Structure 1
């Protein structure tokens, strides 16, 4: 009896200890899982913090670049971030090259305004106000254009007009009046005159753009403006459908002809038979007048000698200057 009771008590105590150990192990496992979850959460938060720090650094660098471009003096450098500095690429809109100065020549007005528009489009944040655009253009004026600006805008702080009104007035003063009739006449008067077709095509396209002709008509005018030798070569080719293709074909043929002309060997000219001699009839000699007799053996004077004595007023018989043949003492009386 006593042995059985003792064995039963020992069994119950051992089973209680086993249950406590199992409960403690389960609690530890749950806590470990919670710790792992917290660790993963902390790692995710650190990644987000690093990403936000990089974005803040990039925005700070862009703001500094904009301030440096807008202000004449360099701004105070911002404090460098401590955590994970990020280098942002340079802003392409921070600065733009300025066009050449405009002196007031009407032929350069369109190109000058075109270059200014390119600068405005490249940096829209810097030129977001009309006064800034007008000031930019006025700083590039020189010569008579600058004199006009000084008279037109005596107050540099207030221009009193919008940018569109300024451009309209600027074109009225300096831009040449568009004359399509004159441009068409210039187009018809163009000639290649031995130039390279590539160079001539640039002038032709420029004048053609101003004339505003239809493409088929421009192709005909371009053909008529070429040199005759190039026309002959183009007539042997199939004519392209568009003007650009036709100009490209003419350029290729012209380049080949010029290369061939440079590479052609220069040798001695082929021997040609001499031209046949032409026989001319001899002129018929007119009968000479009978010469005058001379004292030595009665030799008659030649026509040249007779002319010489008559011109010099000499005696035809003895060639003396003291008398004439009528009173010559040496002439025989008979």
Structure 2
């Protein structure tokens, strides 16, 4: 006996044909791991009916009403009603007839041929597997279609080596190559895989702030930028004071009073001022 597991209950089904397969799969798994809760097929069908709403509930309402009214004596129920509760497979078949895609296989074929990889190979594989499950095609045909829908970069890598002959090997190789290409794009500085725009390269000594604007690095230009620095010409000493630009004294010999005097004003030399004057 299968061990009982605590699974999430099935989602509500309102009649959307795109969600029918998911609804039936959830029911099947729930029954499998909770067999002790469903002694008969009728129990399973009534449990499934609980999760029907909208058009789906309206379709099944006459069935469930007739059966529950005669549950103590099912033989009294209408003959057209009894088979629905005798087997869950019958319920699954009838609900597919009413709400399923009548051209399910043809629709899957059409969508499979149009499918192209636009994101990761894993995402592409998931969509491909879902569609291919609805059609009865040979492995060789599915392998060729899977390869045709891959990104050009992935296909280029595949053709350089030995091309896989079966679908499973092709899927494994495509995912492996796609992951490598993604990592390579990250190394090259691209923010997203498949985005041809590269990140802006800023010269060393500059960084981007939160707003994306450049700002100078506090450590200044790096060695590679030495040639961009304009070196100042070394100033030669000609006897002028470095502070006032006049001759006759040095900056170190100026008193505080001298330094406070405005430019162009002369002051009397102090006792400790040099008694020599540099002559031209």
* 1:180 equivalent in alignment to 2:91: no
Aligned with 1:204 (options 117, 124, 128)? 128
Tell whether the 8 Å contact from 2:9 to 2:30 is kept in structure 1 after alignment. Answer: yes
- Structure 1 pair 166–213 and aligned structure 2 pair: CA distance change class (3 A): closer
Pair 1:93 & 2:4 matched: yes
The alpha-carbon distance between structure 1 residues 96 and 228, as it changes in their structure 2 partners (threshold 3 A), is closer
Which of 112, 120, 127 is the equivalent residue of 2:31? 120
Closer/same/farther in 2, CA of residues 228 and 167 from structure 1, 3 Å limit: closer
Paired residues for 1:12-51 under 5 Å: none
Question: 1:143 Cα deviation (Å)?
Answer: 1.8
- The answer for unaligned runs of 5 or more in structure 2 is 71-76, 190-198, 204-280
**Which ranges of structure 1 fall in alignment gaps of 5 or more residues?**
1-90, 270-334
Quickly say closer, same or farther: Cα 1:96–1:246, change in 2 above 3 A.
closer
Asked whether the equivalents of residues 187 and 211 of structure 1 are also in contact (C-alpha less than 8 Å), the reply is: no
Secondary structure in 1 matching 2:134: helix
Structure of larger gyration radius: 1
| Cα offset, 1:221, TM superposition | 1.2
Q: Residue 106 of structure 1 contacts residue 176 of structure 1 at CA under 8 Å; is this kept in 2?
A: yes
Q: Quick one: distance in 2 between partners of 1:120 and 1:226? A: 38
Match of 1:220 in 2: 144
Compute the displacement of 1:196 (Å).
1.0
Match of 2:166 in 1: 242
- Report deviation, 1:139: 0.9
Residue aligning to 1:139: 50
RMSD: 2.6
Contact 1:127 1:133 (8 Å CA) reproduced: yes
Looking at secondary structure, tell me which structure has more helix per residue.
1
Determine which structure has greater relative contact order: mean sequence separation of CA pairs < 8 Å that are 6+ residues apart, divided by chain length: 2
Q: Which residue of 2 aligns with 1:191?
A: 116
**Alpha-carbon separation, structure 2, partners of 1:263 and 1:165:** 56
- Residue aligning to 1:296: none
Number of aligned residue pairs: give it. Answer: 178
The two structures have a TM-score, normalised by structure 1, of: 0.48
